[in-house]
Amino acid sequence: MQIIIEYESSWRNSFLDGEDNTTKRNFIGSMTALGDRKVDNYKTRTITKNTVMGVLNRLIGEQRKLYDARSSSDYYFKDIEAVLTEEDIVDRPVISQEIVYLRNISGSTDQNSFTGMIKLSDPWLTVSYAKEFWDVLWMSLEELFEFIKANKTISGQDSILDPLSILDKLEEVKKIKVPLNDEILQVAEILAGRYPNFALKESANKVSVLPLYCSALYLKLDRLSEQYDTTPIRASRGGLTGISHNGFTPKNLMERFTTGQQKIVWGNPYISSKFLKGEGEIRQLLNKASGKLTINLNISKEQARDLEEKIEDAGVSSFYLGKKGLAYVTDIRV
């Protein structure tokens, strides 16, 4: 038996991890995931046996997922699938590349944005010790070392008590990297002794000072707790909203100060950029394929006639081949 299918604009990329016949899969088509150099999240796909079995099940009106149909006791293609091989599947595609905008229905949030108006009435800015607390961010590195080691709180600069200034200062600190030396190791040992999650980020014998400043904020908070009630500026779990011992998340930090919700990211262009030695930057877009698929089934005439009858009874006029696009059966030869 031979089933011939023609198709147009079939997407040949996968935006989920794992295999097609598994139940739990995660979206990996975001700009963050595509930009992760440690993981290859640009997944190309071709027509496989799983694809063909999904198509055959669709043609006879099967509505269940392939893995559900396969696990059932009345799976129609149990014997047919046993004899189908990759050599029986002949795909003749014409591939093109296009930019598409993917919409992530899970509704991820933008890490660096916020919505609504900024309010200045939060306890982070209004408690009596607010300026003393935020002064830590405006300390020079030498002043920070003295504060951590000896609780000296004199800063050469005054803190600015508004949310955007605090966020800008954290962004400024984030960019600072200094050579690793004994004094940094000394203060790092003090912070690590108090906060198990503290960790220096070292690269090329240089360290980011952001974990030092963030953990110093927690140290200041603990020291202020000896004089004041610091519950108003602590999160429900006792920490600082949007600020960890090693860094900060702008969307969570600004959530305290804004009237709106976190900004939803509904999608992004599907573009993967990579640098290859000797070639430079390579941009990979969505692959689209149009062509003809021939499925050769080595089954008896009785089985072939029964399958043809089920396909005709189901009356499926068009369907997806893999993902998106338009596919339809042009001929069935028994």
Spell out the domains of the chain, with CATH numbers in brackets. Answer: 2-101+270-333 (3.30.70), 111-262 (no CATH)
Q: Please enumerate in sequence order all residues whose Cβ is within 8 A of that of 173, keeping only pairs 6 or more positions apart, or say none.
A: 137, 209, 210, 213
Please tell me the pTM assigned to this model. Answer: 0.63
Q: How confident is the model at residue 20 (pLDDT cuts 50, 70, 90)?
A: low
Q: How confident is the model at residue 107 (pLDDT cuts 50, 70, 90)?
A: low
- In the predicted model, what is the mean pLDDT of the chain? 90
Q: CB-hemisphere CA count at 13 Å for 88?
A: 19
Q: What is the 3-state secondary structure (H, E, C) of 25-77?
A: CCECCCHHHHCCCCCCCCEECCCCHHHHHHHHHHHCCCCCCHHHHHHCCCCCC
Residue pair 334/10 in contact (Cβ under 8 Å)? The answer is: no
pLDDT digits (tens, 9 = 90+) for 290-324: 999 999 999 999 999 999 999 999 999 999 998 88
Q: How confident is the model at residue 173 (pLDDT cuts 50, 70, 90)?
A: very high
pLDDT digits (tens, 9 = 90+) for 131-147: 999 999 999 999 999 99
d(Cα 131, Cα 123) in Å, to the nearest integer? 11
Annotate 180-208 with DSSP letters as a single string: --HHHHHHHHHHHHH-TT----EETTEEE
Q: CB-hemisphere CA count at 13 Å for 240?
A: 24
Share of the chain above pLDDT 90, in %: 66
